[in-house]
Structure 1
Amino acid sequence: MKPPCYLIVLAFLPSFSFCEIVVKGDGILQDTSLTKNEATPTKPQASKPDPAGDDLILFDNGDVMHGTFGGIQGGLLWERKDIDRPIKFSIPAIRQVVFKGSSGVVMEKETSFITLVSGDRIPGKIVSLDDKSLVVKSSVVGDLKIPREHIKSLSPNPFDGELFYSGPYNSNGWMILDYRKTKEKDKAKEIAGEEKKPKKEVIQENGKVKEESSAWIHSGASFYSLDNRALVYPDANMPDIGRLKFKAKWKGRLNLTLALHSDFTRVLPAEKKEEPKAEEAEEIEDGEKPKAEGEQKPRKKEQPEKQDPAPLQKERLVDFRKNNAFQNIAWINPSKRTHADMFGTGYTMTLYSSYPNLSRNYFSETGVARTQRMASVRSNISLSEGGDAEIEIRYNRKESLMILFINGTYAAQWNDLGGFPGDGTGFGIVNNTSNARVRISEVMITSWNGMTDSANSMIHPDRDLVLLGNGTDRFSGQVIEIKDGVALLKSAYMNAEIPVKDLSKIVLKKSTSTDLDSDDLSEDLTWAKEPMTIIYKPFGKIRLNPISAERNLLSGNSPFFGEITVDLSSAAMLRFTEGSPDLSDWFDDL
């Protein structure tokens, strides 16, 4: 039963159990921008700070509330400026908390991180390593000592040097490409039809505001597709030599198109000059005076020299955006739906369940949109209906090279003999299957050191692998220790001392690492209950069973590194339900 008065609800909120708190309805506790069952406006406005607080809490049933994270004490404490004391929520009823004001981990030049066999990624400086343990110094967890058998890899210089994008932790800068109305007659008919309708009918139909749903929804750190309109990020700043990596999860048959190195600029068709009407031409002929006898015919006027054609007119997608907020742009001409018309000059890669293909998109000298399919050296891929995958694309504009990896395995390669078209740096995604759904997360655009080996080839059962920052040199053997900024590598052929600053990655041998799939796995290395995950931008990920928390500090236990206290001031979110989508019914609506 909906409470009759908002003030009465606020007065009794602290004493209610979670199931008695009504978040939906007409009160100010509703947030329609992320609620899963509400339609998102086709033209979102720039987000404004909420007076209740900048953080968001997303409940298991999809409800959303603004406010400020207040800590964990026998439940999650939630503060609002319009309520005089914190609200306590049961943690099993919460999916995630998003820290809107988070600034993320500052990427220093020498920032590094370590990856555990559990999937945890801890940002920090590598202090030392021996045969027993690793010591890391982190602004997030402080000084931490971790048993060596729990370490999967060390990344002294991640992202091959430079990170250009990581997210989507928010939707800023992203756009949805919408359809244009090309005929003014259609618009006039629509206006006439609206004028004939009663005002109430125009505003409401069946008691509900008529509103077109968005093609993509942003929630947490993911985008979810609802139809086949394109989601694009023109400001991706893809470097000339780099890597694009993201995770995709889908239900239905996979048919995903990626716009790569697109400039989102297209050529407009030339304006046709109107010919004189037939009646006007006849009048000119009839108006000619008869010539007298002996009168010389007037000389024909000399034809003017042919002038060079006028320069082609162009339009850019970014010129149509109003601000940096997530928004729809009326850009697609329904009669011109080539990839060049939609994304401009660049490439489009389409991923099917069994194979990929790559197309080269450009405009001819006369402004005609062209799409050329590229031949590839490829291996078959197998992506089932309703699956997930990590997609990685490595590319080199200077060498006209593009390589596709799926789940760490080589899938295809293209060499464009004509060279990369244009100089675009934008990125986009289209879900081409109308009855399928796609979730996109963990998007990263980084530099690339040129190494063409797959990620899976960097794992060896009996040897540690060391990859240098130049992308070509790598060694195998045993990393004896890391001390004073130098790694000591011992092999059958040499002993080498390598400065850590020259290393890109160290992958420890699998035979001595903790095997989480082993039947003999100690109970001490299993989670007593489902842990929560703390997400840091751009790469931190720490799982803990929470003990207690204040606004900026959280204490918890992990079977892999014991009890620790982590700093939340730079966290992006807390995720309490691991492995499930951010919108609980997103995969259940087909």
Structure 2
Amino acid sequence: MKRLFPALLLGISPVHSAEEAASADLLRFTNGNRLDGHFGGLKEGPAVVWKRDDVDAPVDFKVTQLRQVVLRSARPAKPLPDLSSVSLVNGDRIPGTITAMDAHEVSIDTVFAGPLVIPRASVSMISPNPLGGKLLFNGPFSEEGWNLTAPEQEEPPAVKANGNRKDADHADDPPEEKKLPAWSYSSGAWYHRQGATALTRDVHMPDRAMVRFQIAWKSRLALAIAFHADLKKPDKAADDAKNGQGRPDNGPGLPMMFGNAYVMNLYPGYVILNRCGYDDNGKPVLERIQSSATNARLPESGEATVEIRCNRKNGEIALFINDEFAAQWTEGTGEGDDGYAGRGGAIGFQVQTLSAPGQMANAPVRISDLVVAEWNGMPDAARSLQTNDMDIVLLSNGTDRFSGEVTGLAKGKLQLKGRYGAVEFPMDDVAEVRFARNRLAKAQEPTSNQVQVRFLPFGRLSGATKEGTGSSLILTSPVVGKTKVDLDYAVMLDFKNSNSFLDDWDAQF
């Protein structure tokens, strides 16, 4: 076996076809190495059983050496039927349909583990209709559909996926002369290393849309986020740019990369929103939109959840950071103004950290857990209204909210005892319920052999495990007890679920 390990851990025997790549699993080690193959289950130790076509017998790896098992290139074999879920005090989010609730328990029906009964005090939130609209995109789970667009003065660096360069032109260069890719895809995330190249994708954003993603960074953050972009490049603007004309002073060619769009620049202490596009003569234009106040407070290095809500019909644009309101703008939409600048359905990301005039610094950034959905117009989240003593109910119409004590669920209706009497809501009309802090139990510390099973588009169940097959595993959760989990619905097994954002990064970053 000693002779086998170096070749395997260096990943020099990749899968050879697109069909094999789509069905292959990926093993990620704590030292940054990766190994493709097929997950064969768990055994006493605990240890992961790993299979490969070029190895006669399965290989066992202790979970203490592992970070993650990515199943089927992070694609589920079976999709979840809907987006409803129950959130627990330990951070787990269990996808499923809430079927019953009283003062002591919450019952949820799941497709991957059957019916589960959860202590009411361990439930921090229920989300019967969490997005208020249709899910349009969730990922990234592959590099397919993504594009790199560089400023005119730069050549787009090659995409790097799963550690394998796609740049044959530099295959024979000495190591110190090889060009680093601007963006690399790996295990459900995009990583940025250097350069001003933008990462874009048409996600078909509707008029009312919500874009939500997780970002982590290791140096001072300067991220441009484009939305409602059409990615167009008028011929005249392209000709002017080649001749050195028409380039805006702030932002390296943003209209040339995003077309007609809104571009939000996120910095540690503030945020700027720009209109991006072209004038009647095809000249690139970048115009800053004023905001009365912003509440963007981010550290020099760290991670955050960013959510943008935008409405092309009435011009509303809002930013939330870690589920807290950060900023809001109102744009023109009709005659007598410039109209809403975002004319397309694409999104984009560009890292803009500067080290010296005209030079882009090495600025590691990770983009993951991206969700694009229709937005129902809800101006805030239940978290912004959470209190110590009252439960908060938000309805899916985006405007109505109620406070009091949720007493139960019967015949498909949520029951709330409020200050002015009792009221019932059909569960189809409820977006989410955030329970009072003072009624919640304290989360237990995770055990040393805990694993997190992750689902698509979102969901997580944690517990201790030491047995399982390639299709299921037995998970013992301190909240839901012993459960058999069907891995056809899962996309990842996470063995190093730390609160430190650094633990989730590849060693090369």
TM-score band w.r.t. shorter chain = 0.7 to 0.9
Alignment map for 1:503-514 (pairs within 5 Å): 503-514=430-441
Distance change in 2, residues 1:77/1:202 (3 Å)? closer
Query: Once the 2 structures are TM-superposed, how far is the Cα of residue 204 of structure 1 from its aligned partner?
Result: 3.2
Determine if contact 1:150/1:560 at 8 Å carries over to the other structure.
Answer: yes
- How far 1:584 moved relative to its partner? 3.9
The residue aligned with 2:287 is 372
Select the residue among 221, 225, 229 that pairs with 1:254.
221
Q: Go from structure 1 to structure 2 and tell me whether the alpha carbon gap of 1:55 and 1:203 turns closer, same or farther (over 3 Å shift).
A: closer
Partner of 1:191: none
> Which residue, 63, 79, 85 being the options, matches 1:106?
79
- CA change 1:93–1:502 in 2 (3 A) is same
Task: Name the larger-Rg structure.
Answer: 1
Q: Is the contact made by 2:389 and 2:437 (CA closer than 8 Å) also made in structure 1? A: yes
| Counterpart residue number, 1:420 | 340
SS at match of 2:420: coil
Tell me which residue corresponds to 1:310: none
Contact 1:24 1:30 (8 Å CA) reproduced: no
Structure 1 runs not aligned, ≥5 long: 4-8, 10-19, 32-45, 184-200, 273-312, 314-330, 517-524
- Report the Cα distance in structure 2 between the residues aligned to 1:240 and 1:271, rounded to whole angstroms: 28
Alignment of 1:130-149 (within 5 A): 130-149=102-121
Aligned counterpart in structure 2 of residue 227 of structure 1, from 194, 197, 209: 194
For residue 513 of structure 1, report the CA deviation from its aligned partner.
Answer: 0.4
Q: Who is 2:391 aligned against? A: 464
Residue of structure 2 in register with 1:204 after alignment: 172
Letter matched to residue 103 of structure 1: P
Q: Secondary structure in 1 aligned to 2:233?
A: strand
Alignment of 1:43-54 (within 5 A): 48-50=18-20, 54=24
**Displacement, 1:230?**
3.3
Give the distance between the partners of 2:410 and 2:392, measured in 1 at CA.
Answer: 18
Identity level (%): 33
The corresponding residue for 2:181 is: 214
Which secondary structure does the structure 2 equivalent of 1:456 belong to? helix
Root-mean-square deviation over aligned CA pairs:
2.9
CA contact (8 A) 1:104 1:537 kept: no
- Kindly report which structure 2 residues correspond to 1:430-449, keeping only aligned pairs within 5 A, or say none: 430-433=350-353, 434-449=361-376
- In structure 2, the CA distance between the partners of 1:83 and 1:2, relative to structure 1 (3 Å rule), is closer
Which residue of 1 is the match for residue 451 of structure 2?
532
Deviation at 1:85, TM superposition (A): 2.3
Shift in alpha-carbon separation, 1:270–1:160, aligned structure 2, 3 A: closer
* Cα separation, 2, equivalents of 1:476 and 1:453: 15
- Structure 2: 5+ residue stretches without partners: 156-168, 333-337, 354-360
Partners of 1:361 and 1:548 in 2: CA distance:
54
Q: Could you tell me how far 1:377 is from its partner in structure 2?
A: 2.2
Q: CA deviation at 1:422?
A: 4.8
Could you report, residue by residue, the CA deviation over 1:190-231 in whole angstroms, capped at 9, with x for unpaired residues? xxxxxxxxxxx986344x596422111222222111013334
Alignment of 1:322-333 (within 5 A): none
Q: TM-score if structure 1 supplies the norm length?
A: 0.74
Amino acid across the alignment from 1:549 = G
Alpha-carbon distance between aligned partners in 2 of 1:507 and 1:47, rounded to the nearest angstrom: 46
Aligned to 1:125: 97
Deviations 1:354-397 (A, max 9, x none): 11111111212221111111111223432121122111111111
| Cα drift, residue 530 of structure 1 | 5.0
1:103-502 matches, cutoff 5 A: 103=76, 106=79, 108=81, 111-178=83-150, 204-206=172-174, 211-269=178-236, 336=247, 337-417=252-332, 418-433=338-353, 434-502=361-429
Q: Residues of 1 paired with 2:394 and 2:153: CA distance?
A: 54
Q: For the residues of structure 2 that align with 1:455 and 1:391, how far apart are their CA atoms? A: 16
Q: CA deviation at 1:499?
A: 1.1
- Return the match for 1:61 from 16, 19, 31: 31
| Contact map agreement 2:414 2:426 (CA 8 A) in 1 | yes
CA contact (8 A) 2:80 2:489 kept: no
C-alpha contact (below 8 Å) 1:52/1:67 kept by paired residues: no
Deviation at 1:136, TM superposition (A): 0.5
Number of equivalent positions: 473
**Which whole-Å deviations, capped at 9, do the CAs of 1:279-323 have from their partners, x for residues lacking one?**
xxxxxxxxxxxxxxxxxxxxxxxxxxxxxxxxxx9xxxxxxxxxx
Secondary structure of 1:265's counterpart equals coil
Deviation at 1:259, TM superposition (A): 1.0
In structure 2, what is the Cα distance between the partners aligned to 1:176 and 1:271? 17
- Cα distance in structure 1, aligned partners of 2:476 and 2:369: 25
Q: Which amino acid aligns with 1:462?
A: D
Classify the secondary structure of the residue corresponding to 2:138: strand
Give the aligned residue type for 2:24: D
Q: Is the 8 A contact 2:222 2:267 kept in 1?
A: yes
Deviation at 1:527, TM superposition (A): 2.4
Query: 2: CA distance between counterparts of 1:229 and 1:71?
Result: 42
Asked if the contact 2:231–2:346 (Cα under 8 Å) also holds between the matched residues in 1, the reply is yes
User: In the aligned structure 2, how far is the partner of 1:530 from the partner of 1:513?
Assistant: 25
Normalized per residue, which structure has more strand?
A: 2
Shift of 1:419: 2.5
Rounded to whole Å, the distance in 2 between the matches of 1:503 and 1:202 is 55
Q: Render the CA deviation track for 1:104-161: whole Å, top value 9, x for unaligned.
A: 66354x6411111111111111110011101111001211000000001111112112
CA contact (8 A) 1:150 1:514 kept: yes
